[in-house]
Amino acid sequence: MVTIYDVAKKTGFSSTTVSKALNNYSDVSQKTKQEILKAAAEMGYLPNAHAQSLSTKKSWTIGVMFSEANGVGMKHPFFSAVIESFRKHAEREGYDLIFASRNLRNRDISYLEHFLYRAVDGIIVVCSDSQDAQVQDLINSELPVVVIDMMQDNCSAVYSDNIHGGILAVNYLYSLGHTNIAHIAGDTSNYAGMARIQGYQKAMRELNLSIKEGYLINGGLFSILEGKQAMEKLLNLEERPTAVFVAGDHMAIGAFEAIKERGLTIPEDISVIGFDNIEMASYVTPKLTTIKQDTEIMGNYAAELLMKQIGQKKKITTSKIVPVELIIRDSCAPVKRKK
């Protein structure tokens, strides 16, 4: 079995420096740490988890909780991409992830109790359901916590600039000559849904455009089916919109289906812009113009904030707002003028 003394001999560093690097002590430079970690990996060094926990007072595990009302969880491309980014960063720091099972809901134990029992060093909460009481229990606990996809005052949070995303979407449609712009919104119980509504309303106000009756429609919890149902309602309006900003790419794909079933074409009859930039957005027909959320940066920020709290052994309340970007594809076109 390879020991820290073997790693020390190979790298030329003392066994104390090797031990500190392997246990992520702050008084070892990043360059030295990376050199030692690389050598340890090449030699097949495996730390004794129990001994490591005793020496560092850490379990080297992080709890992951999903809390979103439609029950999609990691199946949603946005959430899975953020967690994958977070996982890569956490594992580089020596941490393993423990996912809280939804089966806990059917047992007499809370998520907080479960994570305390597993002695996790911190918790990451991927959250679109701000009303979840168990999320609030985690946030109010003494454990280091970072919430993703929800603005929160009393813990660290990472979320996209949803308001600016809504403004980008409306401004782009306006640049193509559209003034009858509708919005299929996420439910207002959801932070992202509410913020994107605010962006839509702000942009319409600043452009001196009226939001016609029926143009702001609740698309529910970001599913394809709900997007289709919301689009059908817009198509039934006496004055049909020429462009629609949809609060999520899954809903936009549902909107595509509703439009095509009416015998209309995208973008010639109706322009559609989504939000997320999931992988599928570049494969549907036409390719979906959308607002990109940077899942790689979100996962990295979340990991950095959580590691900082764990290292300092105290909770930090700060927010990281991740910029969004307009991705132009084929689903939007200049407004078709009436003859």
Q: Taking 50 as the threshold, does the pLDDT of residue 50 lie above it?
A: no
- Cα–Cα distance between 171 and 144 in angstroms, integer? 39
- Same domain, yes or no: 179 and 96: no
What pLDDT was estimated at residue 72? 52
Same domain assignment for residues 180 and 215? yes
* Residue 48: per-residue pLDDT: 54
b vs e for 160-193, b when ≥16 Cβ sit within 10 Å of the residue's Cβ?
bbbbbbbbbbbebbbeeebbbbbbbbbbeebbbb
- Supply 308's token pair: 């900082």
Residues 97 and 8 in one domain: no
What pLDDT was estimated at residue 64?
A: 92
Shared-domain flag, residues 166 and 251: yes
Mark whether 265 and 279 lie in a shared domain.
yes
Global pTM reads 0.80
Is 193 among the domain residues?
Answer: yes
In a domain, residue 337? The reply is no
Q: Is the pLDDT of residue 314 over 60?
A: yes
- The CATH number assigned to the domain holding 254 equals 3.40.50.2300
Q: Are residues 103 and 141 in the same domain?
A: yes
Q: Please tell me the total count of domains within the chain.
A: 3
Residues 102 and 152 reside in one and the same domain: yes
- Residue 1 to residue 93: CA distance in whole angstroms: 22
Instruction: Report the percent of the chain where pLDDT is more than 90.
Output: 57
pLDDT classification of 219: cutoffs 50, 70, 90:
very high
Domain stops at, among 56, 73, 100 = 56
334 within domain boundaries: no
3-state DSSP assignment of residue 109: coil
- Please enumerate in sequence order all residues whose Cβ is within 8 A of that of 296, keeping only pairs 6 or more positions apart, or say none: 81, 85
Same domain? 169 vs 287? yes
What does the alpha-carbon distance between residue 164 and residue 226 come to, in Å, rounded to a whole number?
Answer: 24
Between 120 and 3, residue with greater pLDDT: 120
Question: Percentages helix, strand, coil for the chain, rounded to the nearest 5?
Answer: 45, 15, 40
Q: Is the predicted pLDDT of residue 30 greater than 90, yes or no?
A: no
* 68 vs 290: CA distance, rounded Å: 22
Whether 34 and 123 map to the same domain: the answer is no
- Which residues face 147 on adjacent strands? 125, 157
Q: Are residues 151 and 300 in the same domain?
A: yes
Is 102 a residue whose pLDDT tops 80? Answer: no
User: Do residues 80 and 99 touch, judged by C-beta distance below 8 A?
Assistant: no
Do the Cβ atoms of 127 and 105 come closer than 8 Å?
A: no
Please identify, among 40, 56, 72, the residue that sits at the C-terminal boundary of a domain: 56
Q: Provide the residue range defining the domain that includes 139.
A: 61-160+294-323
